[in-house]
Chain A
Amino acid sequence: MDGISVRGVSQTFGTADDPRRVVALEDATLDIPAGELVCLIGPSGCGKSSLLDIIAGLAKPAAGSVTIDGEPVRGPLPKRVSFVFQENALFPWLSVDDNILTGLAFQGAPKAERRHRADEALSAVGLEAFRDHYPHQLSGGMKQRAQLARALSLQTEILLMDEPFAALDEQTRLVLGEDLSVLLARMRKTIVFVTHSLVEAVFLADRVAVFTARPGRIKTVLGIDEPHPRSPAFMTSAKLAGLRNTLYELLHDEVRRAMATEAAV
């Protein structure tokens, strides 16, 4: 099938005889058809970021497999999958523009196309005026937009985002979420988005995969039946509040359990 297929994926850290061995993720199975936006949400340490790394080919699973358009993932697939990290992923010694051009060089994009693709990506995130700025000269929100531009310039069908707005304040996060919804609705990419924020998950996703406390399993998948792009009106709607509450009920006990096991360790 087209899209991402996750089959029985487990991830452990530490060897079998290590008393501190951690089972981060257990037997995760999830199908993400092309063009869908799926949010992964769950308590800290539930393995949602581990799953994203495995889909990206940045980590190997202890068990199970991931296929993209039917092909097994064995390493990074820069032509098909791009990744947005939580923070500090821009190269600080390069300007925003050079960060994007370097990404395109890494991907092996034809030289003649790079300039144009970088310009397009910069304008998509509204950072044309800041192309010559270095990352440390940008606010947290602008850095993440620059990182998004770098990922978009790669023109991959799949975009993986690991808590891209987690380091930002809530107001910036909400506005960036709105912009992202508009942008992504236009681009029709397949997106897997890891978040801690219930509102962000409901606002952005077609479906939300809820993880249990460690060892992380997919507890349930919640559908969000609302057309894209999502409007500010959806943000304040009773529908969003209802879905958010459902999500909260699903997560509440898991978060308590996660905190209890953390305290035990």
Chain B
Amino acid sequence: MTLSRGLRQRLVQFACVAIVFGAWQIGSTTGALDPLILPPLSAIVVQLGAVLRAGTVWADLGVTLAELAIAFAFAVAIGLPAGFLVSRSRLAVRAFDPLIAGLYAVPTILLYPLYLLFFGIGPPSKIALGATMAVFPIVLSTIAGFTHVNAVRLAAARSMGASPVQLFGRVLVPEAFPVVIAGLRMGLVLGFLAILGGETLTSNVGLGHEIVTMAESLEPAKMFAYITVAIAAASALNALTSYVELRGRRHERA
């Protein structure tokens, strides 16, 4: 058979998903799988339709995304300027880069009990956790992006008379963009994970909170419907940031 490589790759991917989902559907309808743990896919699809029609899921999703937006705004507002300032001095890079990388390795979730104490079980504690998680990749990538600016192009801009503002906006920022945007994407993903995790552990609102509530009240089909919504939100975020990155780097594939 002469199928193109792309098509064969898609076929393999599709087959794998189909096998897993097929086994799941058969297992849970025949009773081989406990439907309280893994309800039939068909039941999840039905629940998803009901959940979307009822509309309460949008409020939960809204809470979670609002937490993420605020957490990400904090992380960017702190991470970008801090990273840029550190990148301006070789001593600061040598001193702070390993320090920040070391802190990055500390499991941030350990701060969560403290945040709950400070900010309560509502959204603020999730925002704090998400911001803490997101700020590290943003700072580190900002430092990396602004320290590895091409020296020849910098000299060229200076020789042509670029002012400090022009040097920043028209040379340094585009030079650093590919590395910084990778850090921003990573920050957004980690922030989303942290916020969902935080909601799952201790919360009174949000997507993560609803998912846990449904698991505890033995409504697995509804829980999976909510999980589907969470996955869709994560994919949409990923697509959005990927679009921003591609737009910023479109000259590379022109």
Chain A residues at the B interface, C-beta cutoff of 8 Å = 53, 56-58, 76, 78-79, 81-83, 85-95, 102-103, 105-108, 134, 136-137, 150, 154
Contacts and interface: CB of A to CB of B under 8 A. Distances in A.
15 contacts: A76-B160, A78-B159, A81-B159, A82-B159, A83-B156, A83-B159, A85-B155, A88-B152, A89-B152, A95-B251, A102-B170, A107-B160, A134-B252, A137-B254, A150-B160
Interface in B172-213: 174, 177
Given A85-B152, A88-B150, A136-B252, A79 B161 contact: yes
A129 to B, nearest CB: 16
Of the listed residues B159, B171, B251, the one surrounded by the most CB atoms of chain A closer than 10 A to its CB is: B159
Given A58-B158, A106-B166, A137-B254, A93 B174 contact: yes
A106 B174 contact: no
10 smallest CB-CB distances across A and B, nearest first, come from: A78-B161, A106-B160, A106-B162, A83-B159, A89-B156, A103-B160, A93-B174, A134-B251, A107-B161, A93-B251
A94 B250 CA distance: 10
Contact of B161 (A94, A95, A106, A134): A106
A182 to B, nearest CB: 25
B184 to A, nearest CB: 18
B157 interface: yes
Contacts of B170: 91, 102, 105-106
A102 B160 CA distance: 9
Given A85-B155, A102-B170, A92 B251 contact: yes
B183 to A, nearest CB: 18
B88 interface: no
Given A92-B251, A94-B251, A76 B152 contact: no
A134 B153 contact: no
A120 to B, nearest CB: 17
Contact of A82 (B155, B160, B249): B160
Given A93-B174, A105-B166, A106-B166, A78 B160 contact: yes
Nearest to A135: B251
Nearest to A94: B251
Contacts of B150: 88
B174 A56 contact: no
Nearest to A78: B161
A131 B160 CA distance: 20
A49 B95 CA distance: 33
A59 to B, nearest CB: 9
Given A92-B251, A134-B254, A137-B254, A154 B160 contact: yes
A65 B162 CA distance: 24
A81 to B, nearest CB: 7
